[in-house]
Structure 1
Amino acid sequence: MRTWTRKNSLGGVRLRTDMDAREAAVLRSLVGSVLGLLHERADSVPEDDLAALTGLRMGNNTPPDDATLARLLPDFHRSDPDKPDDDRADMNGALRSLHEPEIIDEKLAAGQVILETVPAEGGRILLTREQADAWLNGLNDVRLALGTTLQIDADTPDHLEPDDPRAPHLDVYHWLTWIQDSLLQAMAP
């Protein structure tokens, strides 16, 4: 993949790069996996009689059991581990129920922009500023998901031993970070 470049045109700012077929396949697969998790979460909402009567869309009121989904859809307020607070759990449940559908919709839309703009066989990618913003959000979600799966934290080295089964995946994580950083740099005025 080439570094993102910025082009000013009569139609506005365009951000451009080229991606080969393997890179496109990897990115499309990762984005598709994240979107699948989000769709499953959205489809797991229990029926709510009040929501049916009022027409309000309600989400789950409990945090996801899956660590990756929990990272993508964190609690609104974190409790102090030394002070259990049932009120915070109730507040998180209420806020999650109200806002999770919209958050999931935004994450799905960002991922969909990536899928729509990455040619399946690789090639040129040309984005508007709005599409580039969606890319940044979608790439962030993919990085969060992959980082959670690989258990990446502040103590994870930049390079793992070749016999570590996470090593090739960490390279993909770094590649996604580079794509995101390159796009941010190109977007800067």
Structure 2
Amino acid sequence: MRKWKRVETAEGPRFRSALDAHEATLLQSLVNSLTEMLDERETSSPTDELEELTGMRTGHSTPPEDDTMLRLLPDFFRPQHDHPAGSRTAESLNSALRSLHEPEIIEAKRHAAQRLLDTLPLSGGRFEIAEDDAHCWVACVNDVRLALGTMLEIGADGPDHLPAEHPMAGHLDVYQWLTVLQEYLVLGLMGKRS
């Protein structure tokens, strides 16, 4: 992967980079896996009478049981165990907000993933994307990083490396590659040289 280059045009900024064929294939696979996870979460949503009556889409009222999906769709509020009203208030609020907003959040994540896939050079090479697509790339790559980071149990303190014999050792390299890809694009969006 090459650094992103910001180019000012009459239609607004454009962002240029290049990917090797294996990088494009890897990114496509990771984004397709993310989309499948989001689709599975959405299609497993229970039927809601309010949705049937009003046409308002609703989603799950309970958080995902899977840590990876929970990282992608976290609670809106953390329970306050020392709050005078207790933690049930936050849990009830989370349930209502999740039911109302999770479909929109999944749709936004799916849209960003699709824009990345639509602008990804599938056989590698140089490519250029518009600013709106650059924002979609940043959002989607971030979601892939969050998912992969959760699987690798990456916290604030690392890990910076894994032993070569560790079954996830290669995935850490992918996580770090995604971090660089995202960082360079964010710097480009901010108008800074990377």
Identity in percent: 49
Given residue 169 of structure 1, which amino acid in structure 2 is its aligned partner?
H
Q: Distance in 1 between matches of 2:76 and 2:11?
A: 39
Contact 2:80 2:90 in 1 (8 A): no
- 2:96 is matched with 94
Q: Distance in 1 between matches of 2:159 and 2:35?
A: 28
Q: How does 1:160-179 map to 2 (within 5 A)?
A: 160-179=162-181
Q: How does 1:33-182 map to 2 (within 5 A)?
A: 33-80=33-80, 85-182=87-184
How many residues are paired up? 189
Q: Distance in 2 between matches of 1:6 and 1:164?
A: 38
Q: Distance in 2 between matches of 1:52 and 1:133?
A: 34
Q: Distance in 2 between matches of 1:140 and 1:148?
A: 12
- Deviation string 1:89-137 (CA, Å, 9 cap, x unpaired) is 1111100000000000000000111111112111222111110011110
Give the secondary structure class of the aligned counterpart of 1:45: coil
Given residue 31 of structure 1, which amino acid in structure 2 is its aligned partner?
V
Q: Distance in 1 between matches of 2:189 and 2:157?
A: 30
- 2:2 is matched with 2
Contact 2:19 2:126 in 1 (8 A): yes
Q: Where does the alignment leave 5 or more consecutive residues of structure 1 unmatched? A: none
- Deviation string 1:150-175 (CA, Å, 9 cap, x unpaired) is 11112323222222222211110000
Give the secondary structure class of the aligned counterpart of 2:59: coil
Given residue 34 of structure 1, which amino acid in structure 2 is its aligned partner?
L
Given residue 155 of structure 1, which amino acid in structure 2 is its aligned partner?
D
Give the secondary structure class of the aligned counterpart of 1:160: coil
Give the secondary structure class of the aligned counterpart of 1:62: coil
Q: Distance in 2 between matches of 1:170 and 1:52?
A: 44
Given residue 40 of structure 2, which amino acid in structure 1 is its aligned partner?
E
The alignment's C-alpha RMSD in Å is 1.3
Greater than 4 Å deviation, 4+ residue runs: 81-84
Q: How does 1:11-30 map to 2 (within 5 A)?
A: 11-30=11-30
Q: Distance in 1 between matches of 2:34 and 2:56?
A: 26
Q: Where does the alignment leave 5 or more consecutive residues of structure 2 unmatched? A: none
Q: Distance in 1 between matches of 2:2 and 2:120?
A: 14
**Residues 52-61 or 153-162, more deviating:** 153-162
Deviation at residue 141 of structure 1 after TM alignment? 0.3
Give the secondary structure class of the aligned counterpart of 1:78: coil
Given residue 144 of structure 2, which amino acid in structure 1 is its aligned partner?
V
Deviation at residue 87 of structure 1 after TM alignment? 2.0
